[in-house]
Amino acid sequence: MADYPILAVVGHPNKGKSSVVSALTQNDQVHISPLSGTTRVAQHFSLKLDGETVFELVDTPGFQRAAKCLAWLRVEELPADQRPARVAEFVEQFRSSGQFFDEVELLKPIVAGAGIIYVVDGSLPYSPEYETEMEILRWTGRPRLALINPIGGDAYVAQWQQALNQYFSLVKQFDPLHASFDQHLQLLRSFGELDSRPGRIFDQAIEQLEQYRRQKLEQAARILVENLYRLLTYQQSSSRLEQAAREQLPELLPAEISRFNQHLNWLERDGQQQLEALFLYHRLESDLARLEVRQSELMDESQWTLWGLEKKQLVLVSAAAGATLGLLADAGLGGSSLFAGAIGGGVLGGVSGWLGLDWFKQQLPAWLQFSAEQHLLGPVKDPNFAFVILGRALSHARAMLARSHADRERLTIHQAGDHFMQSLEMKVQIRLLKQCKQLVRQGPQGQAAEQLRAWIYQQLTA
């Protein structure tokens, strides 16, 4: 017998069994389909912490011939204590015959010792046809929990509750598409109360699941800060600019700037993908590739408000941060003129706004750091850039964390409504900007990185 919980998820076809498995094991590779009968063989999925199984769920085909199966079990009158053995006999009898294929697949893990999660749809009325399968499950004698999945609403939840109470010692409502992490824990905890086996395998699984979450969030904060550092320090060299005569620069610049911009987006997306891989989302990529297009115009003026960054407030923040950090003094500009570039039309105007306008070396902008050998674009100098990156990264991370692995729709990132970075207290905003500036100086091993990680971790758990 395994030293971790194993639960078989069973029920009628199309009630969300696979969705429950996918959500609980945090695995988006579980097959979910609107067509019934797509799961033909039982499939085992586990959640692993440091390579060790925390718990395992078995996704099973639905009952297909429950009435015949029960008739076989009942062919002779049996006292209750002998019924589990009779079910085992059924599995043995039809294991290789192909008859009762689905029932055998479904009962096999249960006979081998798995607990039972029975899934029903709370938006459809209860009907006695379910009694056959519930009776079969009762015959197994295994600990049983019934889940009412409100697939299309909860109209019949109360009715189901009445019926299920007679076959299951515990009945819970659980929506695999929206259940929170705490609800996952609660479900395991409830099951643990049903399981009468000695030892504390459920307590242990719950502790490990909590540890799994903490560990992943810590790693997430690490990835976010490392990626912030990469974006804030990114520089691009251009041989084309070097070769060109000074007069040609204005013609070549837009293409170089768009290359720079593209690379920033690539870096950002790369960070997001690292996070998706960490949380075992394999399917988000294509969805987000489309989102990336919308996000891609980092220098697009409209993005300033789109990501919760009101221009006026940002001017204020950069002015305040500037006063503290001497940033604006470096640039030799006031807060509003920093923006004049960003608001003014044209790519060049936008970029110089973003990158920090500084006419030095014969009217060349600061980001075009002119030296004998090299033209370097970047790093982005505007202190608000860190803010934008951080806000975007947190929006993505939060949307991903709130998402069930059973969700097969596109990931939508809700930036409206929370306007998160903007809602932070002014002193927090200034502190963050300061830490970002230190991050650039100290690198991702420094103290500022540590402080930023702690803050991000807090934001991800809030």
Ligand X SMILES: Nc1nc2c(ncn2[C@@H]2O[C@H](COP(=O)(O)OP(=O)(O)O)[C@@H](O)[C@H]2O)c(=O)[nH]1
The footprint of Mg ion (CB under 5 A) covers 17-18, 39
User: Quick one: which H or E segment has residue 289?
Assistant: helix 284-295
Binding partner selected for residue 141 from ligand X, Mg ion, none, CB under the kind-specific 5 to 8 Å limit: none
| Residue 368 contacts residue 241 (beta carbons within 8 Å) | yes
18 binds ligand X (CB under 6 A): yes
Q: Which residue has the tokens 């920093």?
A: 338
Nearer to ligand X, 43 or 296 (CB): 43
Minimum CB separation of residue 17 from Mg ion in Å reads: 5
3-state secondary structure of 444: coil
DSSP string, 41-74: S-EEEEEEETTEEEEEEEE-PPPSSHHHHHHHHT
Binding partner selected for residue 19 from ligand X, Mg ion, none, CB under the kind-specific 5 to 8 Å limit: ligand X
318 binds ligand X (CB under 6 A): no
The footprint of ligand X on this chain (CB under 6 A) covers a number of residues equal to 17
Nearer to ligand X, 17 or 375 (CB): 17
Partners of 6 in beta bridges: 56
Per-residue contact track with ligand X, 138 to 157, x per CB under 6 A?
-----------x-x------
Nearer to ligand X, 151 or 368 (CB): 151
Minimum CB separation of residue 187 from ligand X in Å reads: 14
Minimum CB separation of residue 9 from ligand X in Å reads: 8
| Residue 100 contacts residue 68 (beta carbons within 8 Å) | yes
15 binds ligand X (CB under 6 A): yes
For residue 412, give the amino acid letter.
T
- Cα–Cα dist 263/164, whole Å: 56
102 binds ligand X (CB under 6 A): no
343-to-76, 87, 301, 337, 352 alpha-carbon distances in Å: 84, 74, 7, 10, 10
43 binds ligand X (CB under 6 A): no
* 392 phi/psi in degrees, rounded to 5: -65, -45
DSSP code, position 303: H
Among 5, 6, 8, 19, binds ligand X (CB under 6 A): 19
Minimum CB separation of residue 10 from Mg ion in Å reads: 10
34 binds ligand X (CB under 6 A): yes
Nearest to residue 375, comparing CAs of 364, 391, 390? 364
| Residue 25 contacts residue 37 (beta carbons within 8 Å) | no
Minimum CB separation of residue 168 from ligand X in Å reads: 17
17 binds ligand X (CB under 6 A): yes
Minimum CB separation of residue 148 from ligand X in Å reads: 10
Nearer to ligand X, 392 or 405 (CB): 405
Q: Find the residue with minimal CB distance to Mg ion.
A: 18
32 binds ligand X (CB under 6 A): yes
Q: Please, which of residues 161-180 interact with ligand X by CB under 6 A?
A: 175-177
| Beta-carbon count within 10 A of 188 CB | 18
- Cα–Cα dist 52/349, whole Å: 54
341 binds ligand X (CB under 6 A): no
Nearer to ligand X, 33 or 324 (CB): 33
Q: Segment near ligand X (CB under 6 A), from 11-19, 200-208, 214-222, 438-446?
A: 11-19
Nearer to Mg ion, 10 or 253 (CB): 10
Nearer to Mg ion, 10 or 220 (CB): 10
- Cα–Cα dist 373/363, whole Å: 19
Nearer to ligand X, 16 or 383 (CB): 16
- Cα–Cα dist 462/460, whole Å: 6
- Cα–Cα dist 115/195, whole Å: 8
Measured N-to-C along each axis, helices 83-94 and 101-111 cross at an angle, to the nearest 10 degrees, of 130
13 binds ligand X (CB under 6 A): yes
Nearer to ligand X, 37 or 113 (CB): 37
Partners of 55 in beta bridges: 47
| Residue 69 contacts residue 18 (beta carbons within 8 Å) | no
3-state secondary structure of 29: coil
Alpha helices in 403-445 (DSSP H): 420-423, 426-442
Minimum CB separation of residue 31 from ligand X in Å reads: 7
Among 2, 29, 33, 68, binds ligand X (CB under 6 A): 33
403 binds ligand X (CB under 6 A): no
Tell me the HSE value of 89 on the side-chain side, using a 13 A CA sphere.
11
Minimum CB separation of residue 165 from ligand X in Å reads: 22
- Cα–Cα dist 19/13, whole Å: 12
Minimum CB separation of residue 18 from Mg ion in Å reads: 3
Binding partner selected for residue 14 from ligand X, Mg ion, none, CB under the kind-specific 5 to 8 Å limit: ligand X
Site of interaction with ligand X (CB under 6 A)? 13-19, 32-34, 36, 39, 149, 151, 175-177
